[in-house]
Amino acid sequence: MQHLQEKLTKQYLIFILFHIPILGWGQFQVTGVVISKNGEGPVPGVTIVEKGTRNGTVSNLDGLFSIEVSDPNAVLIFSTVGMITKEYELNGKNKITVETKWDCNKDFFDSNRIRIYAQSGFINNPIGGQIDIASPYIISEGVLKASYSYQTDSKDNNFQVGSLEFKHPISNCDFDIDFRASYRDFKFKRELDNKTYSFETDFNLPRISFIAGYSHVKFNNINTSKKYNSSGVLIGFGTSFGGQFYPEVVGKISIYKDNIEYQGKIQGGYKRFLIFLKYYKLSSFNELSLGIGYNLFY
């Protein structure tokens, strides 16, 4: 009888020892965020796998993830297209921030987006809005982007800006190019009715952009009956600062025979919320506009 009890006890201990790893599986919850080491912010779509298992998850649009692992000292493997695969040892930590490094020191997250803004002009056109739509990746991994904004005082003044842009169809590790066609159209105090068209190219280096192009204005002063068409060069400069809100600054001028057109913009955002401040001036018309928007994905 005693021999039987000892035998059963041994079998019970073997059963417990055998099942301890299974009972421990999934008992350690890890949450974290994946960010770019180059300061571009959170990285969505990164695959996270517990090393030696098929247990995995994917970071969301804000770079956030959550995974249950079998061991507080497990190793997580982070990978996605264009990123150097990284192994991260938890060492008992359950909240982590993981910095990624890109093979080409460059990443694009500007596709499949719709941005909607409410905007107001402080000088002439207090009512308005803007919409930006970006396509999925198409030829050569470029993105087609369309933008339109409209502002008015609901009386005599209105101001429209539209653009169609093909972003980074030419790209390598440290350089890419954008192509853009745009127009500006305003009516001001029943005096000015102007239309401006431009074709622009952005030469983008890390954190810095140089802008060059051709611009054409159709100037119409209704009071003086002065009309003329004039073409000129467009030049500009842009930069981004990284860090919180990921602010970007862009300034452009178009030089015509009798006029200079000024365009400036500061924009940024936090998660899905967006903000910009824009300035425009041509002849006696000028506008300073504030926009607050929301970022949608499809």
The DSSP secondary structure of 78-104, one letter per residue, reads EE-TTB--EEEE-TT-SEEEEEE-BTT
Nearest to 86, CA basis, from 113, 49, 122, 116: 49
Residue 6 neighbours by CB under 8 Å, 6+ apart: none
**Left if phi > 0, otherwise alpha if psi is -120 to 50, otherwise beta: which for 249?**
beta
Q: Are 229 and 218 in contact (CB under 8 A)?
A: yes
pLDDT of residue 139: 67
Q: How far is CA 81 from the centre of its chain?
A: 18
CA distance 41 to 176: 19
Q: How far is CA 76 from the centre of its chain?
A: 27
CA angle centred on 193, ends 189 and 198, rounded to 5° = 135
CA distance 271 to 296: 11
pLDDT of residue 82: 76
- Which amino acid is it at 166? F
pLDDT of residue 246: 75
pTM (2 d.p.) = 0.66
**Left if phi > 0, otherwise alpha if psi is -120 to 50, otherwise beta: which for 168?**
left
Nearest to 109, CA basis, from 46, 184, 54, 65: 46
DSSP at 135: P
> Which domains are delineated in the chain?
2-100 (2.60.40.1120), 113-297 (2.40.160.40)
**pLDDT tens digits, the chain, 298 residues: what are they?**
555 455 445 554 444 444 444 444 447 999 999 998 766 688 899 999 999 999 999 999 899 999 999 999 999 999 987 788 899 999 999 999 999 877 655 557 788 999 999 999 999 999 999 999 999 988 667 899 999 999 999 988 999 999 999 998 988 777 899 999 999 999 998 888 899 999 999 999 988 999 999 999 998 888 787 888 999 999 999 998 766 677 899 999 999 988 999 999 999 988 889 999 999 999 889 999 999 999 998 8
DSSP helix/strand/coil, 13: helix
pLDDT of residue 213: 97
Helices assigned H by DSSP within the chain: 2-24
* HEC profile of 98-132: EEECECCCCCCCCCCEEEEEEEEECCCCCEEEEEE
CA distance 162 to 91: 53
**CA neighbours closer than 13 Å in the CB half-sphere of residue 101:** 5
Q: Are 262 and 253 in contact (CB under 8 A)?
A: yes
pLDDT of residue 240: 87
What pairs with residue 232 in β-bridges?
Answer: 215
What pairs with residue 185 in β-bridges?
Answer: 160, 195
pLDDT of residue 190: 81
